[in-house]
Amino acid sequence: MRAALMLFILISCQSASAQFEMQELKSSKPGIYIAVTTYPHFRETSPLTRLANSQIDDWVRDDQDRYITAVTGEYGDGMREINQEMAKEYGGKASNDAWEYSVGCRVTSFRPRNLISVLCRVFEYSGGAHPMTSYQVFNFGTLAGQERVLTLSDFFREGTSLPNGIGKVIVRKLKSPEGNSIGRIELNDNEVDKFVVEPDGLRFVFDQCELSCPAHELEAKLKIQDLGPDFRKDLLKK
């Protein structure tokens, strides 16, 4: 899991150019936790990049603060007590290793005045049976001269809905790093709202245990031809 996250961050850093730079927010308390977030900061000063920088910066700080507050507060104290009790019961020794929060982000689309899409993969461990992995996505665009956060409906022509059966298509394409499936036939529209934009389509992502509880998070790539005739492929053009 840790190796996969490092690869995710490495890909992000290698893709950086004059368009943006990768920044790091880090905090730690010896023997308690270490928290590291690697995220993009866009150098272009267009209204859209300013919006992206503001929202991404706010989330980075808020989410890392959420984790730190949890592991240094009553929740963290309670989990450490449980770990010690279980170690005694089973004749082992409670771990003194620091808990971990790691975030790696990558820019999946970047047109500084029209479209910015960022995918962040969040790995966190806070004393449970196993670590958890989740996603945070950011999609920003300029529509009708207004810079704003984009939703899935913005990528389909006005007055149309998501194509029938999109949930079934996603289920067929869902995969985890271990090739696990979810045992579902289709997804509801409200289950497909976490996505990022790529040059040839949309990538839908699902947190670990969001749809079922395999060992890893899940993702599905839908190319332009999978998204139906009402998909606004013009939004993906450079």
In 3D, which of 116, 98, 120, 139 has the Cα closest to residue 25?
Answer: 120
Average pLDDT, stretch 126-147?
89
Q: Give the other-Cβ count within 10 Å of 182's Cβ.
A: 17
Cα torsion 207, 209, 213, 216: sign = positive
CB 1 within 8 A of CB 124: no
Query: Which is more confidently placed, 77 or 139?
Result: 139
Domains and CATH numbers, the chain: 1-150 (3.30.565.40), 151-227 (no CATH)
For residues 15-50, one letter each, b for 16 or more C-beta atoms within 10 angstroms of the residue's C-beta and e for the rest, the string is eeeebbebeeeeeeeeeebebbbbbbebebebebbe
For residues 126-161, one letter each, b for 16 or more C-beta atoms within 10 angstroms of the residue's C-beta and e for the rest, the string is bbeeebbbbbbbbbbbbeeeebeebebeebbeeeee
CB 205 within 8 A of CB 187: no
- The pLDDT tens digits for 181-206 are 566 666 777 778 899 999 999 999 98
Q: How far apart are CA 50 and CA 147, in angstroms?
A: 10
CB 143 within 8 A of CB 132: no
- The pLDDT tens digits for 6-47 are 454 444 444 445 789 999 999 998 888 899 999 999 987 799
Which pTM value belongs to this model? 0.82
Average pLDDT, stretch 140-166?
85
Q: How far apart are CA 106 and CA 101, in angstroms?
A: 17
